[in-house]
Structure 1
Amino acid sequence: MSMSRSVFHVGQHDPLAAPLLAELAIEYSSRYGRTPGEVHADLIGYSAGHFAPPHGDLLIVVEDGEPVAGGAFQRFDANTAELKRIWTSSAHRRKGLGRFVLEQLEAEAARRGYTRIYLTTGPRQPEAVALYTAAGYTALPRDVVKSVGYVHPFEKLLAVDSEAIPA
């Protein structure tokens, strides 16, 4: 069990995010094709503002000095944050870190004034579907993406934070 857990809010090019994004690229590559390099380029290809305040965030969970999990959100619309890049290092799975990341992202999105979370996950990620369902997300009608198949969209309504900063 970890002795020390911290959450850091960073930019997508921060060194703390690098190992998780690199492993995420390998995982997506193995599930959906394309090279890890191509997937990694897509992951970091968003402009820095997508996952930066005031409309977005990227957080990394560090245990005992090691980045072990992370996730991000960006503005989807005035009331909705879209979750992206939720990831747990393969060496640290099955410890509740995915749920912890979700809770941290939801709390930060609510603090920023968002009242709804939206996300999609791919058809080859049943563990992600299980996580979102267990965390109270509602499945929306599936959409077909030509290159992937059916993506699984989800939403969750957030409690309104009276101290929220408008998104």
Structure 2
Amino acid sequence: MSDRFVYTTPLDPLAKPLIEELTFEYDSRYGSFYEAEAAIKEMNRYAPEVFAPPHGGFLLLLRDGQAIAGGAFMRHEDEGTAEFKRIWTHSSLRRQGLARKVLVELEAQAARQGYSRIYLTTGFRQPEAVGLYLTNGYTALFDTTADLETIRKLPFEKLLPVRPQSRPAPAATQPLAGAFHSV
């Protein structure tokens, strides 16, 4: 079994099954709380271009040619802050540390692209994500003792180490040989 990362685009056919499963998961967790079609609206809120270099990145973790996990980032409110989005592991492969691998790789790429701070939000019905961020050096920007359903959107941040040189992500087109590396 060989896992490898590829930087690509949300439009890549390899990403489609993972994105569809994430949409279903959002609907399963929040469908009764939000309006109908809210998961689809959320998944389509951002144009694919915001996840492309030089300001963003879209990452898939592949195993045997299939996407098993992924995540993305885009520029947040200032040029020094990247916002992470859609960090996801296929439901049949959870509890293997894959989300952490994706998170670490996204952090490294954001740093290579010149970002010094990560901002992200997760939903109040995603305790696994909250645990992932808290155990990987993220600071909760909300009262963790409050009723999370009243907060709804749970923000986190993490400062990245400053790197002397930055380099852009591989071009977000079809996967390139140089865009892969094993984990």
Q: Give your verdict on TM over 0.5.
A: yes
Query: Secondary structure of 2:6's match?
Result: strand
Q: TM-score, normalised to structure 1's length?
A: 0.89
Listed as ranges, the matches of 1:13-32 within 5 Å are: 13-32=11-30
1:61–1:69 contact (8 Å) kept in structure 2: yes
Which stretches in structure 2 are left out of the alignment for 5+ residues? Answer: 144-148, 169-183
Name the Cα RMSD after superposition: 2.2
Question: CA separation of 1:51/1:36 partners in 2, compared to 1, >3 Å: closer, same or farther?
Answer: farther
1:131-165, Cα deviation, whole Å (9 max, x unpaired)? 000011000126xxxx9852111000001111114
More strand by share: 1
- 2:5 corresponds, among 7, 12, 17, to 7
Structure with more contact order per residue of length (Cα contacts < 8 Å, sep ≥ 6): 2
Letter in 2 for 1:130: G
Point out 4+ residue stretches in structure 1 off by more than 3 angstroms.
34-38
Letter in 2 for 1:8: V
Aligned residues: 161
Question: CA separation of 1:36/1:7 partners in 2, compared to 1, >3 Å: closer, same or farther?
Answer: farther
Identity %: 53
Kindly indicate whether residue 135 of structure 2 is the aligned counterpart of residue 137 of structure 1. Answer: no
Letter in 2 for 1:20: L
1:73–1:82 contact (8 Å) kept in structure 2: yes
Q: TM-score, normalised to structure 2's length?
A: 0.81
Mapped partners of 2:23, 2:48: distance in 1: 18
Mapped partners of 1:65, 1:150: distance in 2: 36
Partner of 1:54: 54
